[in-house]
Homo-oligomer: A and B are copies of this chain.
Amino acid sequence: MTAPTGEFAFIDWLRRRTPADPRVLLGPGDDTAAVRITPGSPMLVTTDMLLEGSCFALAEAGPQRVGRKAMAVNLSDIAAMAGRPTAAVVSVGLPQTGGRSLAEGLYEGLRGMADEFGTAIVGGDTNSWPGPLVISVTVFGEPTGRGPVTRSGARPGDWLLCTGPFGGSIRGHHLDFMPRVREALRLHEVAELHAMIDVSDGLAADVWHVCTESCVGAVLWAGAIPVAEAARQLNDGLSPLDHALGDGEDFELVFAVSPTDGRQLVEAQPVPGITLTTIGECVEAGLWLESDGARRPLEPRGYVHAIS
């Protein structure tokens, strides 16, 4: 007796595609989902909302890549804690025309990315409205036995390392990046990570977030920062280094370790598929860019939502 179209038809469609998962005691279709948590473990939780026209161009990206990104940005936050993702819920505000096929495309992208990291999609909320597409994803996870890696444990003298290059993500990387979940878990096994962040706002801005939370400063070494090829292809008057420092949405990890651990990581390169690079060090205060032996103040530029 339920209408053949509408949100309940879509929920049915979803449920038929939701594989059985022993961690999921109740999936989509009840008032809440119920998920099994490892006894004694805290829960990690993160949420991100993507808004059409602001965070993505739907016509250009297509619904699957938007769904993929909406899941991946949250998984990247779990990676930044060196956590293991477990489950996700998804809310969407769909435009009134073409919403069903859009929802299916989004779901394919969400599902593919979630599957890549063993993350169950356990529930959500499907709405239609006269506005543009909005998608909000919340991901839960668990830290490993070594605990979560916060932003707040960096110390003066620590080395700052990163998992990959920066800049020019607007050319496609911001949609197609792979969250560094596996890399973070591997790093957490082999080194004592003092602090970690995923670069979403921009390298300078996110290093400054670590500084603020850790009550330290940082020097970035201009010549050492790996710059993405895409950053060199943007002919807009800014240097590739400017793009690397300020573009954001690279979703590489930056982390602070002791110089001993840093040296060891760069030599041993223990993380398959990526190159660990030292890009600077923590100091007592301030944010600095060092180039040819001289330090100048660095603005923690990056993407900031203007709220006035």
Q: Which residues of B have CB within 8 Å of A77?
A: 31-32
Inter-chain CA distance A298–B304, complex, in Å, is 52
Inter-chain CA distance A191–B87, complex, in Å, is 32
The smallest beta-carbon distance between A250 and chain B, in angstroms, is 14
Task: Kindly state whether residue A17 has any CB partner on chain B within 8 Å.
Answer: no
**Given A77-B31, A96-B306, A129-B54: A36 touches B45 (CB 8 Å cut-off):** no
B134 near A51: Cβ-Cβ < 8 Å? yes
A45 near B54: Cβ-Cβ < 8 Å? no
B31 near A42: Cβ-Cβ < 8 Å? no
Q: Which residues of B have CB within 8 Å of A47?
A: 89-91, 123-125, 136, 138
A1 near B43: Cβ-Cβ < 8 Å? no
Contact with B along A180-203 (1 / 0, CB 8 A): 000000000000000011100000
B26 near A35: Cβ-Cβ < 8 Å? no
Copies per assembly: 2
Q: Which residues of B have CB within 8 Å of A48?
A: 91, 125
A78 near B32: Cβ-Cβ < 8 Å? yes
The smallest beta-carbon distance between A287 and chain B, in angstroms, is 7
| Chain B CB within 10 Å, residue with most, of A7, A33, A141, A152 | A33
B124 near A212: Cβ-Cβ < 8 Å? no
Residue in B1, B33, B136 whose CB lies within 8 Å of A300: B1
Contact with B along A67-107 (1 / 0, CB 8 A): 00000000001101101000101111110111110010000
A127 near B43: Cβ-Cβ < 8 Å? no
Q: Which residues of B have CB within 8 Å of A131?
A: 51-54, 131-132, 134
Task: Kindly state whether residue A308 has any CB partner on chain B within 8 Å.
Answer: yes
Q: Which residues of B have CB within 8 Å of A39?
A: 39-40
Residue in B34, B45, B97 whose CB lies within 8 Å of A87: B45
Q: CB-nearest residue of chain B relative to A89? A: B47
Q: List 21 A-B contacts (CB under 8 A).
A: A2-B300, A9-B307, A10-B307, A26-B148, A29-B151, A30-B150, A30-B151, A31-B78, A31-B196, A32-B45, A32-B81, A32-B141, A34-B43, A34-B44, A35-B45, A49-B91, A49-B93, A52-B131, A53-B131, A99-B308, A100-B308
